[in-house]
Amino acid sequence: MDAILLQLLNGLDKGSAYALIALGLTLIFGTLGVVNFAHGAIFMIGSFCAVTLSKIFSLSHKASEPTGVDFLGNPKFDDILYIKEWFGDSAGAWMQDWSVPLAILFAIPIMLFLGFVMERGLIKHFYKRPHADQILVTFGLAIVLQEIIKYFYGANPIPTAAPEVFRGSFDFGVLMGFDPNAIIYPYWRLIYFAFSALIIGGVFAFLQFTTFGMVVRAGMADRETVGLLGINIDKRFTIMFGIAAAVAGLAGVMYAPINSPNYHMGMDFLVLSFVVVVVGGMGSLPGAVLAGFLLGIVESFASMNEVKAIIPGIDQIIIYVVAIVILLTRPRGLMGRKGVMEE
Amino acid sequence: MSLYKPTRRSLIQTGAIAGAGLALPTYLRADGHSGFTNAPTGDTVTLGFNVPQTGPYADEGADELRAFKLAVEHLNGDGDGGMMNTFSSKELKGDGILGKKVEFVTGDTQTKSDAARASAKSMIEKDGAIMISGGSSSGVAVAVQGLCQEAGVIFMAGLTHSNDTTGKDKKANGFRHFFNAYMSAAALAPVLKNLYGDDRNAYHLTADYTWGWTQQESIQAATEAIGWNTVNDVRTPLAATDFSSYIAPVLNSGADVLILNHYGGNMVNSLTNAVQFGLRDKQVNGKNFEIVVPLYSELMARGAGENIKGIPGSQNWDWKLDDDGTKGFVKSFGEKYGFPPSQAAQTCYAQTMLYADAVTRAGSFNPCAVGEALAGFEFDGLGNGKTLYRADDHQCFKDVLVVKGAENPESEFHLVEIIEKTPVDQVTYDPEHPMFAGGDLGQCNPGA
């Protein structure tokens, strides 16, 4: 029982990342009809916003007096951090420690801007082109974005720590009446799950309870009719592209302490997120969230030693097995609209 | 016109002379500069450096390439000479190789076997490379080694740690300076016993490919030999990025040691996840829970940040060693590039020097002559102390470093501390050892 609960918890944080990326993907598909293969790269850039802010907070100048010798035996000068000079030692140290949460504020305008530029500068020219063209161009864009990141940050993963107070783990099992060490769960993963729930709730509330959201939903249902009513739906859809980029970017920012960001991490998530979108139903927001968590949990269960003992290697293919079964039995996905992906 | 009419006596005499000629080492024969693939004809010779320039090991590949460029510079008489000054063989004079200026071409392995073979093939067939070196993966090394054997050029492996490279997949044209999984395990086990005792239960997470399998097999055998029990070995997909679902059950398994048979990005992520799950803060079976990473990569260890503090592992070489070869190399490399070299860089530099030296001693670029000069060659001064290129399997035997993540780093380059330099005798094994069985060097292939 404890092993099942443990994998359920693991599945929730994996599912959180899948759900957030898939939510943005399906938002873009539902509004603009574009299959955006660059969405994983946006997630990656979000992570690198956290890295960048951490690096900005680490900007320094050399001390005037040497404090020792370097590896070649030359005089070594200590680095003096600008933020500690400007804001004092304790405030500077706090900013460094909290660089990931602070990066949320840093990332939002950057990701919104990136979304607008991508949509206006490139993707809008492919609205009327076949999906294959859209996939090719957005996939190409993803490669360009990740190569740019690699050029500036290198290919190695870059460690980006959570605030000290959230490092480590707590014994969830003891709370549930199990033996100590039965269910250990890291604090930051719990925060990631809560953060994802907040973002997902926020996006749904925005679409459900604002006039802007109502127009967007109407546009998703019938773009032409909304246009005939004199509403500039394209402009709203561009804003939605920016919001989708911000959602993926924020997912990336908060993911940075879970796994050290590297330029390729977007691709690792992209394929899985597409499977999530297809399983959930192309264009269905609740479907993307449901499928994200479902596949995250299924993937975690497939990694259990007991399951792998019965079906070796199942952890490597389970997501695709689920996708095949869903597509064969319900081509529109779990919550997809009738007619989409069914012809 | 006269016809040659052999008599019994003349036939025996001719046969005896021919037999004696064939019995001579290849490098004493007269055909030293022809009859093999890409025999250099002008006043230059081209080497092919096949490193990951894209993909997850691109930074490691970049460091290998820096070392190759430095080696070429030194071979051609530029720079301060680096380890050429400390190398026990004094054949290299800084005038290229056999008086021919060294040039090089580069290929991108992408850390994919097919891409690595394609780039090596292109360098051999289009660019006329007479030797291929480099790489950051055992899968790539085995693939490229096979290609070089078929093409008739020498392969001087870069960073490859699988037992198979000089075990079941060894080839007469292939040579490995880097250590292997067996050596890591043989060096680590006694240190682990000293650190954590002989009553431990180990849980293995193993990357599911050739290197991971041989690393796991080696460390399991070595730790069981010191009395440890193996609780479980879980294979993890090479493409995995989040190891939480593999790590979560570890604490509840009865294990008190987690051995991460992971390298590169896998290692960074699995170690980071293990620390996040608080494994290092726990007590199991009345002992502190410990984590072991059998093979360290300094470049990748940087990605794990503070998580590597105190974690034991092994290395082929470290820039903080205090022998003259290391000092000379670190000085050359550090002054040129501004930071110390990685172990990948050192092995690539050493391989280039060893190849050049073997050609010079052989007096020929013929791969069979070079192979003969390398096989059984004993040397010193390249940073690892006394080293033997064993003739049986073309594996270098030298001391192995047992290290741990630095607790109090003095600089950004100070990632690990050397715990012990394990003497070569302790990591030497029989060429027929079961972990290396099933392969055959075969005959050297000079190609064309």
Q: Name the domain boundary from B293, B315, B337.
A: B315
Instruction: Answer yes or no: are the C-beta atoms of A273 and A177 closer than 8 Å.
Output: no
Is the pLDDT at B16 greater than 60? The verdict is no
Using CA atoms, how far apart are residues B378 and B376, in angstroms rounded to an integer? 6
Q: What is the mean pLDDT of chain A?
A: 89
Nearest C-alpha in A relative to B321: A71
Q: Which residues contact A169 (CB under 8 A, 6 or more apart)?
A: A184, A185, A186, A187, B276, B277, B278, B281
* pLDDT, mean of residues A225-229: 89
On whether both B99 and B248 belong to a single domain, the answer is no
Instruction: Answer yes or no: are the C-beta atoms of B165 and B141 closer than 8 Å.
Output: yes
pLDDT on residue B421:
96
pLDDT on residue B7:
52
Percent of chain B with pLDDT strictly greater than 70: 92
Task: Select from A72, A185, A268 the Cβ nearest to the Cβ of B241.
Answer: A268
pLDDT on residue A34:
84
Is the pLDDT at A219 greater than 90? The verdict is no
Give the confidence band of B385 by pLDDT, cuts at 50, 70, 90: very high
pLDDT on residue A330:
87
Any idea what the Cα angle at residue A93 is, between residues A91 and A94, rounded to 5°?
A: 60
Q: Which residues contact B4 (CB under 8 A, 6 or more apart)?
A: none
* pLDDT, mean of residues B260-269: 90
* pLDDT, mean of residues A87-92: 94
Does a structural domain hold residue B39? no
pLDDT on residue B240:
83
On whether both B211 and B293 belong to a single domain, the answer is yes
Using CA atoms, how far apart are residues B436 and B221, in angstroms rounded to an integer? 14
pLDDT on residue A222:
85
Is the pLDDT at B90 greater than 70? The verdict is yes
pLDDT on residue A36:
87
* pLDDT, mean of residues B178-195: 97
* pLDDT, mean of residues A298-315: 86
On whether both B296 and B335 belong to a single domain, the answer is no
Q: Which of A5, A265, A299, A303 to mutate to test the interface with B (most CBs of B within 10 A)?
A: A303
Using CA atoms, how far apart are residues B359 and B355, in angstroms rounded to an integer? 6
pTM, two decimals, is 0.86
Is the pLDDT at B238 greater than 50? The verdict is yes
Contact flag A10-B268 (C-beta cutoff 8 Å): no
On whether both B348 and B309 belong to a single domain, the answer is no
Give the confidence band of A267 by pLDDT, cuts at 50, 70, 90: confident
* pLDDT, mean of residues B172-184: 97
Contact flag B272-A189 (C-beta cutoff 8 Å): no
Give the confidence band of B248 by pLDDT, cuts at 50, 70, 90: confident
Is the pLDDT at A22 greater than 60? The verdict is yes
Using CA atoms, how far apart are residues A122 and A167, in angstroms rounded to an integer? 41
The answer for A 277-336 residues in CB contact with B (under 8 A) is 299-300, 303-305, 308, 315-316
Using CA atoms, how far apart are residues A19 and A11, in angstroms rounded to an integer? 11
- Which residues of chain A form beta strands (DSSP E)? 60-69, 75-81, 169-171, 184-186
- Which among A302-306, A317-321, B381-385 has the top mean pLDDT? B381-385
* pLDDT, mean of residues A39-47: 95
* pLDDT, mean of residues A113-126: 91
pLDDT on residue B27:
39
Q: Does B406 touch chain A (CB under 8 A)?
A: no
The answer for A 93-152 residues in CB contact with B (under 8 A) is 150
User: Residue A223: how many CB atoms within 10 A of its CB?
Assistant: 16
* pLDDT, mean of residues B284-293: 94
pLDDT on residue A181:
77
The Cα of B132 is separated from the nearest Cα of chain A by a number of Å equal to 24
How many residues would you count in chain B?
448
Range of the domain at B269: 182-315
Q: What is the mean pLDDT of chain B?
A: 90
Contact flag A157-B276 (C-beta cutoff 8 Å): no
Percent of chain B with pLDDT strictly greater than 90: 74
A268: chain B residues, CB-CB within 8 Å: 239, 241
- Which among A1-5, B19-23, B95-99 has the top mean pLDDT? B95-99
User: Residue B214: how many CB atoms within 10 A of its CB?
Assistant: 26
The CATH number of residue B211's host domain is 3.40.50.2300
On whether both B214 and B306 belong to a single domain, the answer is yes
Lowest-pLDDT range of A81-85, A337-341, B287-291: A337-341
On whether both B252 and B278 belong to a single domain, the answer is yes
Using CA atoms, how far apart are residues B76 and B73, in angstroms rounded to an integer? 5
Q: What is the pLDDT of residues B303-344, one digit of tens each?
A: 888 889 999 999 999 999 999 999 999 999 999 999 999 999
On whether both B285 and B381 belong to a single domain, the answer is no
- What is residue A170's DSSP assignment? E
Dihedral class, residue A204 (left if φ above 0, else alpha if ψ from -120 to 50, else beta): alpha
Q: What is the pLDDT of residues B115-141, one digit of tens each?
A: 999 999 999 999 999 999 999 889 999
Domain ranges, ordered by start, for chain A? 2-59+83-329
Q: Which residues contact B433 (CB under 8 A, 6 or more apart)?
A: B182
Give the confidence band of A10 by pLDDT, cuts at 50, 70, 90: confident
Instruction: Answer yes or no: are the C-beta atoms of B171 and B145 closer than 8 Å.
Output: yes
pLDDT on residue B79:
92
pLDDT on residue A340:
54
Give the confidence band of B364 by pLDDT, cuts at 50, 70, 90: very high
On whether both B196 and B80 belong to a single domain, the answer is no
* pLDDT, mean of residues B7-32: 46
Q: Does B201 touch chain A (CB under 8 A)?
A: no
Give the confidence band of B91 by pLDDT, cuts at 50, 70, 90: very high
* pLDDT, mean of residues B58-68: 93
Q: What is the pLDDT of residues A154-178, one digit of tens each?
A: 888 898 999 999 988 888 888 878 8
pLDDT on residue B22:
45
pLDDT on residue B376:
97
Does a structural domain hold residue B291? yes
On whether both B216 and B172 belong to a single domain, the answer is no
Nearest C-alpha in A relative to B232: A305
Helix or strand holding residue B121 (H, E)? helix B113-125
Of the two residues B421 and A71, the one the predictor is more confident about is B421
pLDDT on residue B28:
38
Is the pLDDT at B9 greater than 90? The verdict is no
The answer for B 334-353 residues in CB contact with A (under 8 A) is 334-335, 339-340
pLDDT on residue B116:
96
Contact flag B58-A155 (C-beta cutoff 8 Å): yes
Contact flag B249-A3 (C-beta cutoff 8 Å): yes
Q: How many domains does chain B have?
A: 2
The residues pairing with B207 across neighbouring beta strands, listed in sequence order, are B236
Percent of chain A with pLDDT strictly greater than 70: 98
Does a structural domain hold residue B3? no
Give the confidence band of B33 by pLDDT, cuts at 50, 70, 90: low
Token readout for A44 is 């990656």
The Cα of B364 is separated from the nearest Cα of chain A by a number of Å equal to 38
Give the confidence band of A341 by pLDDT, cuts at 50, 70, 90: very low
Task: Select from B245, B303, B340 the Cβ nearest to the Cβ of A156.
Answer: B303
B237: chain A residues, CB-CB within 8 Å: 315-316
Residue by residue, what is the 3-state secondary structure of A21-80?
A: HHHHHHHHHHHHCCCCCCHHHHHHHHHHHHHHHHHHHCCEEEEEEEEEECCCCCEEEEEE
The Cα of B82 is separated from the nearest Cα of chain A by a number of Å equal to 14
On whether both B80 and B187 belong to a single domain, the answer is no
